[in-house]
Amino acid sequence: MATINDNYLKLKAGYLFPEIARRVNAFAQANPDAKIIRLGIGDVTEPLPQACRTAMIQATEEMGERTTFKGYGPEQGYLWLREKIAAHDFHARGCEVDAEEIFISDGSKCDTGNILEIFGKNNTIAVTDPVYPVYVDTNVMAGNTGEANEAGEFAGLVYLPITAENNFTAQIPSQKVDLIYLCFPNNPTGAVATKEHLKAWVDYALAHGSIIFFDAAYEAFISDAEIPHSIYEIEGARDCAIEFRSFSKNAGFTGTRCALTVVPKTLTAKASDGSDVELWKLWNRRQSTKFNGVSYIVQRGAEAVYSPQGQVQTKQLVSFYMENAKIIREKLTAAGFHVYGGVNAPYVWVKTPTGLSSWDFFDKLLHTVNVVVTPGSGFGAAGEGYFRISAFNSRENVEEAMRRITEKFKV
């Protein structure tokens, strides 16, 4: 008889966002007249930029002519898109990233999980707490952890608490770790990392032969000129870091799917015989074997992000969502909540009222004011007692949600 991957059985509860959807759907079915406002999942609401839509329409027309039709594209992505990314996102910030080191994919969520395939099973892995759940769950699925304790912490992972007490800064571990997940601007707390802080992490990784998985999916939302957008702005990072980026939030591609991963050719890790192996070659082989590439039409849309019109339009999108974040932050602060984030990131991280757990307050908001947020405990044990609010929604919905919450709850 066929057997299963028993590691999946360690995942005691459903993935955070499907569990939110389950509770919301159950409430909606029982209360069909309720006007629910969803500020939980970080899904965008505003239309794709005109420049992207125009490029995608043109690309669709090209697919209708034999002379311009495109079949299978390069698994790594079309070079014309990779060159634009290298020039605009990295060279313009003084980062040494070659177009061939950029791999186009259908999502950073996928890549941050799939990247584990090129690493061994004996690595010590560190994650921040709270943390984007995909980092933890994909390690569980891959067999890199033991069972979870009552707090939801999995044996075999090194947890690095980021809390109000340490200013949501990921502390350098005292022990040696091999793989390190860092996400800045941070999901869920909205915190950012200074150059000095990232330099400390790069120095640690270089000293211990560690690899940093740097998730920069929200870099476009950074407004502070002193905050780095890429880990490759830090000297030495090419020898210790892989960076993940996405078009999902800055250009609204959550429904069209396009992202990128940077694997420097200078980056190596050890084989079982002690030799150094280039990770670029392994990831290139993995992608060539298991991935057929992002569609030509979508990649043309992503390329348009870097046109003069696209740059203006994506900046307008980012500004729109950050104005939402400002409204959320200011309204909840005025109501007495302890509020964090929402300045260089589209997420606002909020302390629950005294005596209420994250899921308790989630249910209370849903049932009393029909507003959906994300319970902080879903991001890890250190997230208990907090909730995350997403700025990705219409202005009307954000303002109405804040009116409902602040009228009902005074902390």
Residue (of 25, 26, 190, 214) closest to 108 by Cα position: 214
Tokens of 105: 């994919």
388 marked as binding residue: yes
Q: Is the dihedral of CA 218, 132, 169, 362 positive or negative?
A: positive
Q: Is 232 helix (H, G, I), strand (E, B) or coil?
A: helix
Query: What is the distance between the alpha carbons of residues 10 and 293, in angstroms, rounded to a whole number?
Result: 32
C-alpha closest to that of 313 among 45, 98, 47: 47
Consult the annotation and say whether 248 binds a ligand. Answer: yes
Return the number of other C-beta atoms located less than 10 Å from residue 79's C-beta: 13
CA–CA distance, 49 with 56 (Å, rounded to integer): 11
402: part of which helix (H) or strand (E)? Answer: helix 395-408
154 is in an annotated binding site: no
Is 232 one of the annotated binding-site residues?
Answer: no
Q: Is 247 annotated as a binding residue?
A: yes
319 labeled part of a ligand binding site: no
| CA separation for the pair 386, 401 (Å, rounded) | 18
Query: Are 105 and 253 contacting, i.e. CB atoms less than 8 angstroms apart?
Result: no
Please state, in angstroms and rounded to a whole number, the distance separating the CA atoms of residues 374 and 1.
40
321 labelled binding-site residue = no
- The bridge status of strand 179-183 relative to strand 125-129 is parallel
Q: From CA 139, how far away is CA 133, in angstroms rounded?
A: 10
SS3 content of the chain, % helix, strand, coil (to 5): 45, 15, 40
Alpha-carbon distance of 34 to 321, in angstroms, equals 25
Does 109 carry a binding-site annotation? yes
Task: Give the count of alpha carbons within 13 A of 2, CB side only.
Answer: 2
Q: 125 near 179, Cβ under 8 Å?
A: yes
Whether residue 378 is annotated as binding a ligand: the answer is no
| 132 marked as part of a ligand binding site | yes
The C-alpha atoms of residue 200 and residue 160 are separated, in whole angstroms, by 15
Binding-site annotation, residues for substrate: 15, 42, 109, 132, 187, 292, 388
Q: Which residues are annotated as a binding site for pyridoxal 5'-phosphate?
A: 72, 108-109, 132, 187, 218, 246-248, 257, 292
Q: Which residues are annotated as a binding site?
A: 15, 42, 72, 108-109, 132, 187, 218, 246-248, 257, 292, 388
